[in-house]
Structures are given as structure tokens and as C-alpha cells.
Amino acid sequence: MASRGTAHIAVLIAAVCLSSGCTSTATRLNEASAARERAWEESLRSRSQPSAALPGESLSWNRALEILKARNEKLQSADFEILRAQESLRQIHRSLIPLINFQAGYNRALKDAQNGFDPFTFAANVFIDVPGVFNYRARLLAGELLLRRALLARELLLREQTIELYRSFNAFTPLGQASARSAALRQIAAALTTDSPTSPLAADLARSAATQTKQSGRSEAVAIEHLSDVLGTPGTAYSPDVSTLPDLGYLDSTHRPDPASMARLQLRLAAVELVALRARALGARLRSFPDLNIYITSPGVYRYANNQQATWSSEQIVIGANVNWSLDTQGRRASDRRMLAVETTLRRNTLAAEEERNADQLRTTLAELTRIDQESSRIDAALRELTATPLSDTSRSPLQANLQSQRTQLDELRLEWSLVLWFFDDARWPVPNPDRPLVFAASTP
């Protein structure tokens, strides 16, 4: 009877173990899909009112930078790569910490349930991994290079996203000017209507103002959507304060930096890759040398089985060493070295080409800024001469409008080339902080 009861208990335990956690994949997918559909419907209901009808959140440049660093998806991914590299580097150091393992067991045959054999076992073991000097140093170097590359890549990405944010902010400048022109047209139309309610000119001005307002509204909606996407807060309406945009400081040609002092971040990133390639080449050469392994085996710290105890004893420690040297008869290591040499050459050529492209871009940027300075000076002189020339308003206005339009186009070009210069100007960017805490923005599940 005891054996039958024990068998029933064993069958019951097995059934419980097999049935636990047996929710099918299809059921879990259906539940997850239903949850996402409910969240989607709730999001649509919450945004049923057009965002243009709601007042946008006032946004300064400094506040926008804070949101960008905390919520931008690309920067979040770069921060995750930094976190991954940091954890990998820490794990290399943690590998020197002894590993403690506890093991407990219960072993008994059902037909021998009544005998006096103790079915319980317990053991405690300590494992210590003592890596070789070259092995440990190679892993440490790889971890440090991975972390440095992640940090530099994140800083490069921060520059790109900051400049994109600057463009998104600056896109609201012409929108404000268009709104001002529409308001002026409405005021003129209202004044004409007061004097003559049936004035055709007033009706034309009112229609022009309405058309400009509609176009400005569409452009503003596109600009708001792009700004919220850059910040990593899609669907949020903002009202950016363009007056808080920082001055790039490149208007004066005497304050523009020397190209030799720029693009240092890109050079450091290239240096990390070159050091990593040299380390891989060294590792490939070392694989051709004899492999020395030194090992130490030790008994468990404590073991209990079948009513008997065993404890650790230094007399049972065994120290050994062996040398393993395999000849590369199949030529695999030689092939790996050749392929690595070709890869290194190609990567060096790619990095050199990237450096040359950066240098060309810097030279072109400075040359274009110089040309724009000269064109702006010419237009300013023409405007002054036009103002001093005795002409009627009918003759002066078209010429003045043409020169002002050219000046506006030059200002837009100067801004774009100044942004390129800003990207490479290391002195205008904060020094990377490797100890910066990584904060990941929470999102709805």
C-alpha cells in the first residue's frame, strides 16, 4: 500500500509539473494583440480632437535639449549600447570572483521506499576561474574598446540629432513671419471695409489672408509633427520659442575655427577602430604559438550523501599544466590571417576616404561661407545705394524686394553651412562624460 501511495503521489506531482505554464502560444499572442488593440483605440479616442485646435506647449531651446537627450529614440538606442558595453566590461572583472554552487538532491527508487537508505544529498562547491595573462588582457582590451566606441558613437549621434533639432526649431521662423503678413493683410482689409463695405480690394485682401493662413496652418502642422518626432514625443503639440535659439557664432569670418582643429571626434572614433584591428591581428598571430594551460583542481567544500559527510582538504588539491601546440596543416589560421589583413587594409582605406571627405566638406563649407559673406556685402551696398538714389516708390519697391529676397536666400544658405561647421567644431560641444548616468524613458506597455 505504501508503494502504491507513493506512486500515486509521484504521478500527481508529474501531472502538476506538466500542466503548469502550459498556456499555448496562440492564446498568449491573442491576449497581447487584444491589449495592443485596446491601447490603440484609446489613443485614437484621446486624439479625436485635432491638435492644431489645442494650444501648443511653450518650448525653449534648453528645454528641448533636455527632452531630446531623454526621449530621442536614436539616442536611447545609443545609450543602450553604452549600457551593454559597460556591463560587458564589468563582467570581465567579475569573472575573477569565485563562483559558489550549492546542490541538493533527493533520489529514491519507488520499490525501495521502505529501506533505510538516506535519499537526501547536499554539496557546496567553489569554482575559481584564473585566466591566462594574455587571455584576460585581450578580453579587457576588447571590452574597453567596445565601451569607448559606444561613447564616441553616441556623442556623434547627439551632434546629428541636435542639429536636426535646430533645423526643426528654425522652421518656425518663416511661419511666424507668414502669420504676421496674414494679420497685416486682415487689418488692411478691415480698414478698407470700414471705409467702403463693398470694396473689391478689401475682398481680395481678405481672401489672400485666408489662403495664407490656411497654408501657414498646414506648414505649421508638418513642422510640429517633425519637431515632436525628433524629440521622441510623437503626437505632442509644441510652440517653440525661436528667440531662444543659440547664436552659432560663425557670422564673423574672423571667429571661424581653423579646419585643423576640427573633426577630432571623428578622428578618435577612427583611432578606436584601428586599435581594435591591430588587437585582432595580434590575437591571430598568437594562435600560432603553443597554448599553455595551468589548472588547479580541488574537492568540494562540503558534501553530504548517504549519511556520510566530506569536507574540503588541501591534501586533495591537484596542480597541473599542459602545453598544446597544433600545427596548421589545413591552413585555417593562415587563411584567417590573410583575410584579416585584407579586411584591415580595406577598413584603413575606408577610414582614410572618410577623413578626406570630412576635410573636403570643411573646405567647401568655409569657402561657401566666404562667398556668402561677399554676396551679402554686395547686396547690403546695393540696398544702401538704392535708398540714397532718388527714385519713386513704384520704381524702388520691386528692386528693393528683389534684393531683400536675395539676402533672405543667402541667410538661409549661411545657416545651413554654419550647421555643417558646427557639427565638426569640437570646441562648441561639451566634453563627453563617461560616468554620465543612463536614464531610459519609460513608455506604456
Mean pLDDT of 395-416: 84
pTM over 0.85: no
306-342 pLDDT, tens digit per residue, is 777 888 777 777 787 888 888 888 888 899 999 999 9
Q: What integer best gives the mean pLDDT of the chain?
A: 80
C-alpha cell at 215: 497654408
The pLDDT assigned to 372 comes to 92
The pLDDT assigned to 56 comes to 65
Q: For residue 30, what is the enclosing H or E element?
A: helix 25-46
Four-CA torsion 161, 165, 167, 172, nearest 10 degrees: 170
Identity of residue 105: G
Does the pLDDT value for residue 210 go beyond 90? no
Which of 96, 187, 167 is closest to 133 using CA atoms?
96
Does the pLDDT value for residue 274 go beyond 80? yes
Mean pLDDT of 83-103: 88
The pLDDT assigned to 442 comes to 55
Does the pLDDT value for residue 178 go beyond 70? no
Does the pLDDT value for residue 123 go beyond 90? no
As to burial, measured by CB atoms within 10 angstroms (0-12 exposed, 13-18 middle, 19+ buried), residue 72 is buried
Which of 429, 54, 422 is closest to 236 using CA atoms?
54
Q: Determine the Cα–Cα distance for residues 169 and 134; give it in Å rounded to an integer.
A: 52
Q: Determine the Cα–Cα distance for residues 368 and 110; give it in Å rounded to an integer.
A: 89
Query: Given pLDDT bands bounded at 50, 70 and 90, which one contains residue 174?
Result: low
Query: Given pLDDT bands bounded at 50, 70 and 90, which one contains residue 220?
Result: confident
Mean pLDDT of 140-155: 93
Does the pLDDT value for residue 78 go beyond 80? yes
Which of 203, 202, 204, 200 is closest to 192 using CA atoms?
202
Q: How far is CA 307 from the centre of its chain?
A: 59
Question: Which is more confidently placed, 95 or 307?
Answer: 95
Does the pLDDT value for residue 61 go beyond 60? yes
Report whether 260 contacts 358 (CB < 8 A). no
Mean pLDDT of 11-32: 69
131's CB contacts (< 8 A; 6+ apart) are 95, 96, 139
Report whether 383 contacts 400 (CB < 8 A). yes
The pLDDT assigned to 309 comes to 82
The pLDDT assigned to 23 comes to 64
Question: Which is more confidently placed, 346 or 324?
Answer: 346
The pLDDT assigned to 432 comes to 74
In this structure, the strands spanning 302-305 and 308-311 are antiparallel
Q: Determine the Cα–Cα distance for residues 209 and 228; give it in Å rounded to an integer.
A: 28
Does the pLDDT value for residue 79 go beyond 90? yes
The pLDDT assigned to 53 comes to 42
Question: Which is more confidently placed, 62 or 306?
Answer: 62
The pLDDT assigned to 167 comes to 92
Query: Given pLDDT bands bounded at 50, 70 and 90, which one contains residue 51?
Result: very low
Does the pLDDT value for residue 404 go beyond 60? yes
350-400 pLDDT, tens digit per residue, is 999 999 999 999 999 999 999 999 999 998 888 888 887 776 666 667 787
Query: Given pLDDT bands bounded at 50, 70 and 90, which one contains residue 217?
Result: low
- Among residues of the chain, what percentage have pLDDT more than 70? 75
Q: Can you give the three-state secondary structure of 202-255, one letter per residue?
A: HHHHHHHHHHHHHHHHHHHHHHHHHHHHHHCCCCCCEEECHHHCCCCCCCCHHH
Residue tagged 471695409 (cell numbers): 193
Which backbone phi and psi does 267 adopt, to 5 degrees?
-70, -40
Query: Given pLDDT bands bounded at 50, 70 and 90, which one contains residue 102?
Result: confident
The pLDDT assigned to 424 comes to 94
Mean pLDDT of 6-20: 57
The pLDDT assigned to 1 comes to 47
Which of 4, 157, 8 is closest to 73 using CA atoms?
157
